[in-house]
Amino acid sequence: MELGIFERQLRLMVLLTQNREYSLEELCRKLDMSRRTLYRYLELFRDIGFEVVKQGNVYRLHRGRGAHVAARARYGLRHGCTGASFAP
């Protein structure tokens, strides 16, 4: 079954935040994606404020201190907004 981009990103995020350690190869195999695509998604997570941690060949994802600030700035959300409305 072909997963959409958002579903693949969300699934990767879930895998990286579990209390498990996955190598790059394991993640690519589980998500049926290329290394290039996986790297692109990891860069996206960094861009929106998540901390992508690499220890050896294992990757993990932590919510960075500025994740909510970066997301609001990137998507034009107001302070305290739940994402339902956008700034004018």
The structure tokens listed for 78 are 């107001």
Residue-level pLDDT at 85:
38
DSSP string for residues in 34-56: -HHHHHHHHHHHHHTTEEEEEET
> pLDDT tens per residue, the chain (88 residues)?
456 888 999 999 999 998 788 899 999 999 999 999 999 999 999 998 899 988 888 888 887 655 455 555 555 545 444 444 334 3
Amino acid in the structure at residue 65? R
- Specify the pTM: 0.66
pLDDT of residue 18: 86
Please, what is the Cα angle at 75 between 61 and 64, to 5 degrees? 25
